[in-house]
A and B are shown apart, each in its own frame.
Chain A
Amino acid sequence: MVKLRYEIEGGNFDLAGTASSQVKKVLKQLNISQLLIKKIVVALYESEVNVVAHAYKGHIEVEIHPERVDMKITDEGPGIPDVESAMKAGFSTASQKVREMGFGAGMGLPNIKKNTDYLKIETVVGKGTTLTMTKKLDYAT
């Protein structure tokens, strides 16, 4: 099993995606299929951008097992007041700055769900959010 951990700096869009890029490099070295890697890193990158866009800081923990990849993204931030709405495509509370970077269209969480096999969102308003997700390394998909 491979364990990885990366810190995320809130608000710094120049560095957004650095952690996901590092994870992608490791997954490539482990000879995981290109399609599965893409699904994993897209879910991870969407999560990383969410932390940069909405939170003060956070971190990503990744565990790569032979049959699955577990990911946990934890942030200290405003939390999500209405998770049900946040899961709907098109719903967004992103700032103008985030939208100018090409994000904040309300597609992040639905896209994370689409690209993973398991997604749990734990959030406390005013404290932060933790996303726990899993992608099975099922080569039939």
Chain B
Amino acid sequence: MKLEQIVGYIDGSIICGNIEGKDIEKGFCSDLMSDVLTIDTDKVILITGMANMQTIRTSEMADIHTIIMARNKKATPEMIQLACDSDITLIETPFSAFRICGILYSRGLKPVY
């Protein structure tokens, strides 16, 4: 699924990073960073309600390059800077994590497990 499509489906706002031409195969939703660190999959998008520096750090370590922050969670300037430095696209949306997952799953985004 193209990242441009994903942003459109969830009424997303791009906070940093480039979405053009990016393909996403799978989605993973968690507020538990320990859980995110167990994923072995590439080309996965993280949907989370957890908005702090460790969300970005965890994604950097797990080779996750796109994060959707649900329910209007705001990234701090430090988080945005770290995301930019780590080649991570940050997307904010007013939708809940449940709604984002429902929309993207019904449109064909695959689950990790």
Residues of A within 8 A of B (CB): 13-14, 16-17, 20-21, 24, 34, 38, 41-42, 45-46, 49, 101-108, 111, 114
Interface residues of B in 31-45 (CB under 8 A from A): 31-38
Q: Are A42 and B62 in contact (CB under 8 A)?
A: yes
Q: Are B37 and A14 in contact (CB under 8 A)?
A: no
Most buried by A among B32, B38, B55, B57: B57
B43 shortest CB reach to chain A, Å: 12
Where chain A touches its partner, the secondary structure class is: helix
Q: Are A42 and B61 in contact (CB under 8 A)?
A: yes
Size bin of chain B's contact surface: 20 to 34
Number of A-B contacts (CB under 8 A): 67
List the one stretch of B13-21, B46-54, B67-75, B88-96 in contact with chain A. B46-54
Where chain B touches its partner, the secondary structure class is: helix
Smallest Cβ-Cβ distance to B52: which chain A residue: A101
Q: Are A111 and B34 in contact (CB under 8 A)?
A: yes
Q: Are B35 and A107 in contact (CB under 8 A)?
A: yes
